[in-house]
Every structure is written in structure tokens, then in C-alpha cells.
Structure 1
Amino acid sequence: MSMPTPLPVSAPAGFAPLAAIGFTQADATLSPVSSTTPLPVTVQGSSPSAPLEGTATGPATAGPFALTSASPVILSLSGTWTGTVRVLRSVDGGATRLPLTMAGQPFATYTGNCCEAVWEEGASGAELYLNIALTSGTLSYRIEQ
């Protein structure tokens, strides 16, 4: 969008405060954002991993689900089942899997169907697992970003 030159100023103020967004060029000069010099942005991370999905009819561990960006992780649980599903996190290739907590309290532990965001990750190489402890029924699960 171009602005007329000179800019008209209307009464009653007789002045017009200006504001602009700009960014620093390599030569340390300011470059105002415009259609010819758009704001430089970078998409972080890589393309999302394929969803982790399956079914369980008894105790199981599902994973790993490799986190590839800082976007929310969505967990979907469905079916007719009884038991507990807990989301675990690892940063050492699955050797250590820790349950998610928030303020020191259990987080992302389910005893019923759900479809919700359960985590956002910033650490490179982090993976999520599902610890499935079913006592009856069939559970369908899906983790995706």
C-alpha cells in the first residue's frame, strides 16, 4: 500500500503522529516494511511427523511420536474402554520416559475419550509415548501435530 506524498493533515489537530514497522538490514540500517520489503520471517521446525495412531485392547506402550515443531500436539482417544492412558515424554530416545506434569501435578492422564491439545515442545529430539493401561474394551488413539 502506498501513501500519498506529501501526507495531508486535517484540522483540528494540525499534526499526525506516524508509526511504522521496520527491521534491521545486514548493514545495520532500518528498512520499513512495505510491499517491496516484506517483514522477513522464518517458519521454525520441519514438516510434521506422520500421526501416531492405532488401537489397543490391553496394556501397551505406543510410540515414539517425534515432535517436529512448536505447534500443539493433539491427542484423540476414542472407543469403549476402561483404564488409563498417560502421555510420557522422552529426550533420550525413549530410555527415560517421564509423565507430563504441570506445577508438579499429573497432567495428560486420561480415563475417557478426548480430543485436545496436550503439549507444545521446544526441545529438539523430544518424543512422546502413550502408556496404555486398559482393563477392558478397545481404545483407538491418535497423536498428531
Structure 2
Amino acid sequence: MPPTPIASPAGYATANAMAYADGDGNVAIVSGQQPLPVQKKFAATAPLAGLTSVTGVFGPFAPALDRSVMLTLSGTWAGTVKVVRSIDGGATRLPLTVAGSVWAQFTGNACEPVWDESESAATLYLDVTLTSGTLVYRLAQ
């Protein structure tokens, strides 16, 4: 890039630089050779969506890493919906917990983030126990 001339009346220009912490925690000055790091767009993960009037386990949903998973439940239904997780292709499915307490278990309509995944082998499922009605569900990012 060609230098920018200093115009009168100033005769000087103040220097400014943008920097960020690199992987080692040291200052890294932004330049053409070392641009500001940004997060790339994620590839879309197909949502797990449908409706059911019967009890069952629905999935898998393979979440992209480090992004919130949103659960939407709607319809006129009664029962319980649990988000469960597997790291062995669904052979073993465990309920989500936080500090040992039940997490991501619902008995009514909802729309909220339920999980952020950090393990590439993990998949999520919806464990649905209906006593009546029709549930519309969507697990997506």
C-alpha cells in the first residue's frame, strides 16, 4: 500500500494499531500478512424436525461444535420430552445434566437453547413420552 502523505497544517499524523492476543497470549498487530481473526461461517446442520403422536426416541441430530442447539416444542400435547446425548452412535443415550441435576427436560411447549457441544462424536436425540396429543419438535442450530 502506498504511504499516505501528511497534509498541512498538521505536519504529523498519530499512529494507531489494532492488535489481538495470539494463541500464546502475546500481542499480534493486525496487518495484511496477519489479519484480524474472525470466525468462519459454519456449514448448516440439518435440523431434526417433525411431529409425533406416539412415544419414541427421535434422532440423531449431529450438532456443529461450539454453537448453541435450539429446541422448539409446540402443539397440544401432554407428556415429557428429554434431550439425550450419545457418543457411540446411539447405542448408549444419557440425559443431559448440569451439576448432576436434570437439564433439557420439558413438559410443555418451549423455545430455548439447550446445549453447546464440544465433542465431534456426540449426537443428540429427543426421548419423547406422550400421554396425549400431538407434539411438533425441532432441534436445530
TM-score class normalised by the smaller sequence? 0.7 to 0.9
Alpha-carbon contact 1:87-1:100 (below 8 Å) kept: yes
1:43 matched to 2:2? The reply is no
1:105 matched to 2:115? The reply is no
Residue 75 of structure 1: aligned partner? 71
Alpha-carbon contact 2:58-2:125 (below 8 Å) kept: yes
Superposition map of 1:1-145 within 5 A: 6-7=12-13, 20-21=18-19, 32-34=29-31, 37-41=34-38, 43=40, 46-145=42-141
Give the Cα–Cα distance (whole angstroms) in 2 for the partners of residues 23 and 102 of structure 1: 31
**Displaced runs of 4+ in structure 1, greater than 6 A?**
2-5
AA partner of residue 74 (structure 1): M
Unaligned regions of 5+ residues in structure 1, if any? 9-17, 25-29
Aligned-pair identity in percent equals 49
CA RMSD in angstroms comes to 2.8
CA deviation after TM superposition for structure 1 residue 32, in Å: 2.0
Give the Cα–Cα distance (whole angstroms) in 2 for the partners of residues 31 and 50 of structure 1: 37
Give the Cα–Cα distance (whole angstroms) in 2 for the partners of residues 23 and 97 of structure 1: 39
CA deviation after TM superposition for structure 1 residue 121, in Å: 0.5
Alpha-carbon contact 1:23-1:33 (below 8 Å) kept: no
Question: CA offsets per residue over residues 97-144 of structure 1, 9 Å max, x none?
Answer: 000001100000000000000000010121000000000000000000
CA deviation after TM superposition for structure 1 residue 70, in Å: 1.1
Alpha-carbon contact 2:17-2:30 (below 8 Å) kept: no
User: What is the total number of aligned residue pairs between the two structures?
Assistant: 130
